[in-house]
Amino acid sequence: MQIIPIRLHGLLDYLSAAMLISAPWLLGFADGSAAQWVAVAAGAFILIYSLLTRYERGAVPLIPIRAHLALDVATGTALIASPWVFGFADHILWPHLAFGLLSLAVPALTRRA
């Protein structure tokens, strides 16, 4: 069931990028750890590939929407795995899991045409 229009997906991209970049400071894990930098890097990555996506919210239309959706899934998977891969699961876990799960759910629910 694809219920999210591409235009809304674009808005969610920029919102999630901003939230990921600011999460360490808003949620109290801006301590220079891997948890902080994974969130910031994921947010920056989302921002960059969103700006380069060929959709209404993109600035430079280089990346097709299907490739963008694949990048969403890859980013979500990386965010979900990151607390264990980088060893901070005992320090901070839920923001990475929540944003990772959203990064999997939103592309699955996005209309492709």
Q: Which helix (H) or strand (E) holds 82?
A: helix 65-85
Residue 45 in any domain: the answer is: yes
Residue spans of the chain under pLDDT 70: 113
Residue 66 in any domain: the answer is: yes
Using CA atoms, how far apart are residues 44 and 23, in angstroms rounded to an integer?
A: 12
Name the residue among 85, 108, 99 with its Cα closest to residue 42: 99
**For residue 70, what are the domain limits?**
6-109
Residue-wise pLDDT tens digits, 73-103? 999 999 999 999 999 999 999 999 999 999 9
Which single residue is written with the structure tokens 């430079």? 60
Residue 1 in any domain: the answer is: no
Q: What domain count does the chain have?
A: 1
The model's pTM is 0.95
Give me the sign of the Cα torsion angle 5, 38, 35, 32: negative
Q: What is the largest CA-CA distance in the chain?
A: 42
Residue 105 in any domain: the answer is: yes
